[in-house]
Every structure is written in C-alpha cells, then in structure tokens.
Amino acid sequence: MVYLDYNATTPVDPRVAEAMWPYLWELFGNPSSLHTYGVNAKEAVDTARAQVAKLLGCQADEVVFTSGGSESNNTAIKGVAFRLRQKGYHVITTQIEHSAVVSPCKFLEQLGFFVTYLPVDRYGMVSVRDVEAAIRPTTILISIMHANNEVGTIQPIAAISELARARGIFMHTDAAQSVGKIPTLVNELNVDLLTLAGHKFYAPKGVGALYIRQGLEIEPLIHGASHESGRRAGTENVPLVVALGKACELAATELDSRWAHVVTLRDYLYDNLKKMFGSRLHLNGHPTERVPNTLNVSFEGYTGQELLQKIPEVAASTGSACHAKSREMSHVLRAMGVPERVGCGAVRFSLGQWTTAGDIDTLLELLQLRVLPKRVRS
C-alpha cells in the first residue's frame, strides 16, 4: 500500500505517541484537581500549551485546546458573531472554505446574519480587492482559510488581515492544512483567531486548538465550568493535549527539513505525470503559492473515482463525485471555474514526512500499467 492522503489525516508520529502514553495510565489526574495527580496533569497541559504557542509565535494564554479543527472553526465564527451581534451582523468568507467554516456560516444566516461568500480566481486565490469591496459598516468578522485542503493554494492572509485591522474587523483563518507545513506565526499573519487540527500534522485525531488574540472576548461554544480560562468548558483531554504539544514542538524544529524532502517528491511526481499524460493532465491550484505537500491534478478523460479504482494499492482522494449517474464536481474546483470535463478527473495526492521515492515510483508504475491508455502511450 502507498499512502498519499496526508491532507485527510496523518499517522501519529511515534515520538508523539511516546509522549502521550504515560498520561493514559500512570499520570491520569484531572488537571483541575489540587492533589499531586492533578498538579502533574496541569503541568503537562501547561507545557503543551507553551509548545503550541511557540509554533504559532503567541502567548501561552492565547491558546485554547479543542476537540479539533471543526470545533475551533465553530468557536471562532459563532463566538465572534454571538458576542458582537449588537455591533454588526455581516461575515465575509469565500466559496472554497471547508465545510467546518461554511456550515457555521449557513447556521448564522438562519439566525439573521448576512454572509458574503467571495469568489476565487482560476488558481483558487481570493482577491484582496474583492475582500475590501465586500466590507460593510456591519462587518464584524472575516474568515478565510490559510491553505486550501483540496488544491493547496495559500491565501494572502496578511494583506487581508491588514484591511480588517484598519477597519476594526476581526480576522480568523482556518490553518488546519498549513500548520506544520509552512510558517504560521500569528503576528506575521496578523490574525485575531487561528484554527489548527492535530491529526493534520502527526498528532492523533480528536484534538486541536484555537488561537485567540489577547483581549478578544468571544462567546464560548461550550458552556460549563471555567476550564481553558472560561473559553471552553470541559476537563482537558490530557493525553491528546500532550500529543498535540509534542507534535507542535516537532513541527517547530523540523519544518524546513521535513518539507524540503516533500517538495522534491511532489515535483518529481508532477513532472513524470506530465510526461505520461501530456495535455490530458491539468494542474489544479496555484503553481507556486501552495503548501509543499499537495498535488491536485485532473486526468482528462477519466473520473477521479475510476482512476483510483484501477489502482487500489494507492490511497489518495478525489473531491468530485462524478460517475455515470451523477456529476457532482468539487465545490472548490467549481468555484475556480474548472470545466466539468476536467474537474471530474481530479485526484489529490498529498504527501507526508514518510513518503518515499519508492512510493512515487510505485504509483507511476501502476498508472503506466493500468490507467495510461494505449493511444497516450504511443
């Protein structure tokens, strides 16, 4: 088996698993308890919070632990909207956001909020001018992803944040697909809120964090006791929090070396696919401004499902449900204006730190044997 679906989820790094293991059994205390068991657990949570903060370049008390990216996005969007609804009721986002952003925005619309879904260009990039033109006196929040999960395009978050800050509008970015892959320092991005998800960079599923800039008050999504400084009720999941902290520590120290290797393999794959399929192969996403591990290409003349079914030894993704009875193209590719005949053949190959040259060669050999039409071979 060849695993090329790291944007969907990553395996847990053995060093991350090792760090969390003691808190599953020996150090099982509740971090809110005052006895030794609780003190040990709280120290572990504090250490993890500092590790996350170091990766993001923020203060530790600006990090709130959550159950993952979806909760962080919901907390950011609903939290700002509910706290500021007397000030304004307009939110700006894009047409290519993850459902964890789109769905809470749709929910807000049911409550009387107005949401503007901005278009993107053919590379999947939003225009800063379009953002500026969409701003109203009632705009309270702009939520735009840092890197797209399907095509990898990186958005001009710093420039958009500058617009937002000058107008007193809060800025949130869903960085689930960029944290651990490219620098995500919150002061360089100039954001007020940032989402990260542990299982996208070698921590387990079910844990994430939300950066909330100091001084920003939002309505909690989960009400209860005063955990997480009153911003997220519920006893902290200490083993998973420790795991997230360790994953952030590793990402902070290994970012450059980890992704230099991946870029080389990604470009090697693309170059060879171009040689094999020629004009039938189309790159989806920005050619340079994208995360280093993501290659989304369309194989014209196929559907993505058909192609992947021919090579079951390879784990990859397609966002389009195109087959004989249904031609539901990915909402991201549709927003980019990709023609249906091209978009239905889209496949996302996403690489990771354990991807090898042998994995890529195996994929290419399988495509040559089972997919490449004779007329293209000749």
* Every domain range in the chain assigned CATH 3.40.640.10: 14-252
Task: Report the phi/psi class of residue 138: left, alpha or beta, with left for phi > 0 and alpha for psi in -120 to 50.
Answer: alpha
- Mean pLDDT lowest for which of 21-25, 227-231, 327-331? 227-231
CATH superfamily of 254-377: Aspartate Aminotransferase, domain 1 (3.90.1150.10)
Q: Would you state the pLDDT for residue 373?
A: 63
Q: Would you state the pLDDT for residue 325?
A: 57
Q: Which CATH architecture has domain 14-252?
A: 3-Layer(aba) Sandwich (3.40)
The CA–CA distances, whole Å, from 294 to 8, 45, 173, 191, 366 equal 11, 32, 19, 24, 20
For tokens 């892959």, the residue is 181
What is the percent of the chain where pLDDT is above 90? 85
- What tokens appear for 246 in the block? 């360790």
176-216 confidence digits (pLDDT tens): 999 999 999 999 999 999 999 999 999 999 999 999 999 99
250-301 confidence digits (pLDDT tens): 999 999 888 899 999 999 999 999 999 999 999 999 999 999 999 999 999 9
pTM, 2 dp: 0.95
Mean pLDDT over each residue of the chain, to the nearest integer: 94
96-122 confidence digits (pLDDT tens): 999 999 999 999 999 999 999 999 999
SS (H, E, C) 253-271: HHHHHHHHHHHHHHHHHHH
Q: Give me the catalytic one of 58, 105, 248, 322.
A: 322
Q: Of 234 and 112, which is predicted with more confidence?
A: 112
* Every domain range in the chain assigned CATH 3.90.1150.10: 254-377
Q: Name every residue whose Cβ is closer than 8 Å to that of residue 307 and which is 6 or more positions away in sequence.
A: 299, 318, 345, 347, 371
Active site residue 322: yes
